Amino acid sequence: MQNEDTMTGEMLVETVKNQLEDGNPVKVKETLMRLVMTGTPRDEAIEMMACALSVEVFDVAKNEGSFDLKRYSENLDALPDMPWDFEE
């Protein structure tokens, strides 16, 4: 039986894969191409992107706010550095 964190991680990865398939937001596909071209394995790149997505998802849940596409895009741009690596 899977724990809640594993299921959440899998859902985030699935969401990124859906974004890639839909081509929306475009930044997701651009980020995947950039990471793969710089030597990151595709699966690892998608997991990194899911981490960037998790920052937004958890912020929305915690603060009952709305999804911040600009911040998500900035977190994608910062990869392979993880969002929590540069927060103060």
pLDDT (tens, 9 = 90+) of the chain, 88 residues, equals 456 666 688 999 999 999 999 999 999 999 999 999 999 999 999 999 999 999 889 888 898 889 999 999 999 999 998 766 654 4
Is 71 in a helix, a strand, or coil?
helix
Residue 4 in domain? no
Residue 14 in domain? no
87-to-37, 53, 55, 56, 73 alpha-carbon distances in Å = 26, 15, 11, 14, 15
Please report the pLDDT score of residue 41 as a whole number: 97
Residue 13 in domain? no
Two tokens at 9? 């991680």
Please report the pLDDT score of residue 1 as a whole number: 46
Please report the pLDDT score of residue 48 as a whole number: 95
Residue 6 in domain? no
Please report the pLDDT score of residue 75 as a whole number: 93
Residue 75 in domain? yes
What total number of domains does the chain contain? Answer: 1
Residue 31 in domain? yes
Question: Which domain covers residue 81, as residue numbers?
Answer: 26-85
